[in-house]
Structure 1
Amino acid sequence: MKQLRPVMFVGTASDVGKSVITAGFCRIFKQDGYHPAPFKAQNMSLNSYATPDGLEIGRAQAVQAEAAGVPCHTDMNPVLLKPTNDKSSQLVLHGKPAGNQTAWEYFMQDDKRQLFEEVKAAFNRLAAQYNPVVMEGAGSISELNLRQRDITNMRIALHAGAAVYLIADIDRGGVFGSVYGTIALLPPEEKALIKGIIINKFRGDARLFEDGRRQLEAITGVPVTGVLPYFHDIHIEEEDSVALSLKQKRQTHGRINIAVVLLRHMSNFTDFNVLEKDDRVNIFYTDNPAEITEADIVIIPGSKNTLADLVAIKNNGTARAITEAYKRDKVVIGICGGYQMMGASIADPYGVEGEPGSMPGLGILPVSTVLTREKITRQRRFTHRQQLAVCEGYEIHMGITESDNPSPLNTLDDGQPDGYFLHDKCWGTYLHGILDNTAVLDELLLACGKEVNTAQSFDYKAFRSAQYDKLAAHIRQHLDMDAVYKAIRL
């Protein structure tokens, strides 16, 4: 198999489709017999994932690794920023927490020289093992005030010698200005890396853009590699919670209504992607007390700042609505931070999330939590309650939850207990991805008392694989793949 040079997908702005297109190319190279791996030097997201060796990376790179058919590794995302509030983030370096930093400290101190060395070393290790490395940029590549401190866009592209493709979202408008301006602001050595322009999210007949395509090529001197139509029938995980604003569906008849409590610091909302694709379910995200009490199932999700979110839901009436739903015999469950909130108390003696202190929880489960300095990050295999089927999930949390009367929900692969099972309609767990397991999901839906067709059980793993194949076919149909291969063959 011929060696390919790295290929990198960068953007004119955030949310133009870089993560999805990177995942699509990971699947394409896998289908074509290569051994690809994804790479994003720096990611900022509250969606993260546990690697097989018990470390933490951005969820988007785990998705891309799945599309490539390879195990995820911290070298695929050496720097992860997890916002804790509006001004600071937890820095995760090579999968391990490296302290909290304000935006000023992170971007302005030391020009990030040391971090860039770490990023280059991670890329070099991947490049020695995989062919090709499929790289993703972050935000816009033409932020002049950040150029000398850039570790995730054109500086790493230059180090890699990557063939770079610029992605623009035509659906948001201003595509000519954004593409021309982005390229015009690049210095010559960076502009030389740009091998093509990808116009993404085009609605309507693409033939209408033929004149625009020629004009864009004329003013930039860069070929348009293709125009990707907007799609609704291919489902790839979104990178971050900006998409939740589009998921404010409400109650519907004929399905099981599931309310996910909308938290300000909500993390790992991908726990609920399976519910969005299951035809038996109507899922919506809300902090409206009336909608919560009327739902069939209420789920309290994970949080990057559990205590702050607990204060918020107590102040806005959401906490009272959750306990009211529990008293009305509705199904109420919590995952990770949501599990901690359901207990009697949460203590933060070391100031992990802010000032040291403690706070009463919702008092639904007879458990208490102490937040710890050490982050627990593990992939897990487990058995759920009395079932024999082996399930899969992962832990990412800073805290230990205990009870005077243990009643484990799950038994982990090392024999340790997880979570608390109060009864069929009320439980909590630390395991993200628990609902991706058909046996657990079917049991949850049955608990609400409505008729559930378990013959329609949803195989989410097979569904995800099929989506990567559909995405790859979509890209092949609308991009000049011969030109891409010509640009990356050494």
Structure 2
Amino acid sequence: MKQLKPIMIVGTCSDAGKSVINAGICRILKQDGYSPAPYKAQNMSLNSYATPEGLEIGRAQATQAEACGIPCHSDMNPVLLKPTGEMVSQVVLNGKPIGNRSAYEYFRSEDSNVLFDAAYAAFERLSQRFSPIVLEGAGSISELNLKKRDIVNMRMAIRTGADVYLVSDIDRGGVIGSVYGSIMLLDEEERKHIKGIIINKFRGDITLFDDGRKIIEDLTGVPVVGVVPYFRDIYVEEEDSVVLEQKKRTAMAGKVNVAVVLLNQMSNFTDFDALQHDGRVNLFYSDQSSEIQKADIVILPGSKSTLKDLKGLQTKGLDKLIKSMHANGKTVIGICGGYQMLGKSINDPEGIEGSIKQLNGLDLLPVETTITDEKQTVQTRFQFLDKQDWCEGYEIHMGQTKVLDEAPFLLTLDDGSQEGVYKSERCWGSYMHGILDNQVVINQLLEPYANATESGMSYKEFKDKEYDKLADHLRANLDIDYMYRTMHGEEKK
């Protein structure tokens, strides 16, 4: 294996584009004959993914592993925080939940030191199998109030010996100040690891920023290794919930309108990305009755706090609206927590999710659910209804759902077991995340509304081509030769 120093992508702020830049660099390294792997010591997200071993990591690292052409692994994201509301998060360590912690409890110095060592051990294991490791930071690198307890940014860069590239979002404005301030707030040892600056999401003529590039280099003494143009024609799955603001669209004439109900604790919204790219569909997210009622299909998504989100639906009257829409011939489906909500009741006798012990569901499916503290995390293959095609998906959920009558199962898994409930072509539910990544499922869902099936490549093939497009975009706008020189230990540009 060709050995290179690890490289780390950090940011001046959240949503600067670190995850996407990381994925693109992973694909470039793979194309050039290396064996890269992604790594993020600590991630905070409700978008997670199941590894082949049945462990849980952040969705971004699973996406980056796809760009590397390798299976994802828990070592790629050893610490995952899944917010449950009320300033509490479930802590997932090495792919398994170890309990819920408040922000205060989590950030105590003794806790962070233990997690820091555990995260570094995961990095070392990963380094024995892959090279180079492409690390990702979190948020801003210069949050001084969090610095002593930080396990994901410059502290990890120093311990791993990574070359660090700082990404700043010029679309937000104030890019020179944010870059200069971020670097100047680092101590001398930290600044030694900063090898380059990437200006991201530039709109317009890049040559107009030539003066800005020189000013940044003169102020910081760090080279600007590229100015990356803003793009909308390259698709990479994102896990940050801020992107949902861009998806709050409305119904559109001439399309099959699919409304995903926007929940406060919604998880795994990437479940619907394949639908979004189907030419027959207009997909939008909303928690407003006036918008949801315009949809042909309503989807209740997953939730980290199912009972709280069900209570929120009831408070807004959305439960009655959805039931009425189904009674009037619209399609209603549920995935994971949404599947639980479509049943007769959800019970939490041990208070695992919180203070709500029981709620009636929408009573559209003949199931009832009891919340348990055992988490089901598994990748699997399945057949949908009577279709012969083998599909892929994954389960991540807490709770046991009991089917109350002889309703047909929705899925037959590769081990022969069955899962989900099929009431009709206009109402079904399943725990299976990624179920809508499979074209056979999409076609069946849309059949009452769209005659022609969507042809072309599979969603997996589509994503693979998009990683190549992203790599081409970065090669054209970053000094990749310089980045390789730093990974080989050559300091000068």
Report the TM-score when normalising by structure 1: 0.98
Q: What corresponds to 1:94 in structure 2?
A: 94
Whole-Å separation in 1 of the counterparts to 2:109 and 2:99: 15
Q: What corresponds to 1:231 in structure 2?
A: 231
Report 1:339-358 matches (<5 A).
Answer: 339-355=339-355, 357-358=357-358
Whole-Å separation in 2 of the counterparts to 1:199 and 1:357: 49
Whole-Å separation in 2 of the counterparts to 1:357 and 1:12: 42
Report 1:164-243 matches (<5 A).
Answer: 164-243=164-243
Whole-Å separation in 2 of the counterparts to 1:290 and 1:12: 38
Whole-Å separation in 2 of the counterparts to 1:455 and 1:185: 52
Query: After alignment, is 40-49 or 397-406 more displaced?
Result: 397-406
Q: Percent identity, aligned pairs only? A: 59
Query: After alignment, is 348-357 or 260-269 more displaced?
Result: 348-357
Alpha-carbon distance, 1:91 to partner: 0.4
Alpha-carbon distance, 1:455 to partner: 4.8
Whole-Å separation in 1 of the counterparts to 2:109 and 2:192: 30
1:475 aligns with 2:474: yes
Equivalent residue letter for 1:3: Q
Stretches of structure 2 lacking an aligned partner (at least 5 in a row): none
Q: What corresponds to 2:51 in structure 1?
A: 51
| Residues 293 and 324 in structure 1, CA contact (< 8 A), matched pair in contact too | no
1:431 aligns with 2:432: yes
Partner deviation per Cα, 1:14-37 (whole Å, 9 max, x = no partner): 110000000001100000000000
1:37 aligns with 2:30: no
Whole-Å separation in 2 of the counterparts to 1:455 and 1:129: 40
Equivalent residue letter for 2:366: P
Equivalent residue letter for 2:221: G
| Residues 267 and 301 in structure 1, CA contact (< 8 A), matched pair in contact too | yes
Whole-Å separation in 2 of the counterparts to 1:397 and 1:455: 31
Whole-Å separation in 2 of the counterparts to 1:283 and 1:328: 20
| Residues 443 and 454 in structure 2, CA contact (< 8 A), matched pair in contact too | no
Whole-Å separation in 1 of the counterparts to 2:288 and 2:148: 45
In structure 2, relative to structure 1, the CA distance for the partners of 1:377 and 1:208 (3 Å cut) is same
Whole-Å separation in 2 of the counterparts to 1:221 and 1:305: 47
SS of the counterpart of 1:62?
helix
Whole-Å separation in 1 of the counterparts to 2:422 and 2:454: 26
Report 1:79-478 matches (<5 A).
Answer: 79-110=79-110, 112-355=112-355, 357-406=357-406, 407-446=408-447, 449-456=448-455, 459-478=458-477
Alpha-carbon distance, 1:111 to partner: 5.3
Whole-Å separation in 1 of the counterparts to 2:250 and 2:148: 46
In structure 2, relative to structure 1, the CA distance for the partners of 1:455 and 1:197 (3 Å cut) is closer
| Residues 442 and 457 in structure 1, CA contact (< 8 A), matched pair in contact too | no
Whole-Å separation in 2 of the counterparts to 1:414 and 1:294: 40
| Residues 279 and 454 in structure 2, CA contact (< 8 A), matched pair in contact too | no
Whole-Å separation in 1 of the counterparts to 2:174 and 2:290: 41
Alpha-carbon distance, 1:225 to partner: 0.4
Alpha-carbon distance, 1:427 to partner: 0.3
Equivalent residue letter for 1:80: L
Alpha-carbon distance, 1:109 to partner: 4.7
Alpha-carbon distance, 1:359 to partner: 1.2
Alpha-carbon distance, 1:164 to partner: 0.5
| Residues 38 and 65 in structure 1, CA contact (< 8 A), matched pair in contact too | yes
Alpha-carbon distance, 1:290 to partner: 2.9
Stretches of structure 1 lacking an aligned partner (at least 5 in a row): none
Equivalent residue letter for 1:429: S
Whole-Å separation in 2 of the counterparts to 1:150 and 1:309: 31
SS of the counterpart of 1:321?
helix
Whole-Å separation in 1 of the counterparts to 2:130 and 2:224: 28
Equivalent residue letter for 2:22: T
Query: After alignment, is 49-58 or 239-248 more displaced?
Result: 239-248
| Residues 278 and 454 in structure 2, CA contact (< 8 A), matched pair in contact too | no
SS of the counterpart of 2:374?
coil
SS of the counterpart of 1:129?
coil
| Residues 50 and 379 in structure 2, CA contact (< 8 A), matched pair in contact too | yes
Alpha-carbon distance, 1:107 to partner: 1.2
SS of the counterpart of 1:359?
strand
SS of the counterpart of 1:398?
strand
Whole-Å separation in 1 of the counterparts to 2:111 and 2:300: 39
SS of the counterpart of 1:178?
helix
Whole-Å separation in 1 of the counterparts to 2:179 and 2:353: 41
RMSD of aligned alpha carbons? 1.1
Whole-Å separation in 1 of the counterparts to 2:380 and 2:242: 28
Equivalent residue letter for 2:292: I
SS of the counterpart of 2:70?
coil
Whole-Å separation in 2 of the counterparts to 1:221 and 1:124: 31
Task: Count residues with an aligned counterpart.
Answer: 488
Whole-Å separation in 2 of the counterparts to 1:286 and 1:89: 25
| Residues 438 and 457 in structure 1, CA contact (< 8 A), matched pair in contact too | no
| Residues 109 and 148 in structure 2, CA contact (< 8 A), matched pair in contact too | no
Whole-Å separation in 1 of the counterparts to 2:185 and 2:287: 43
SS of the counterpart of 1:83?
strand
Partner deviation per Cα, 1:66-105 (whole Å, 9 max, x = no partner): 0000110000000000000041110011111111111111
Query: After alignment, is 60-69 or 456-465 more displaced?
Result: 456-465
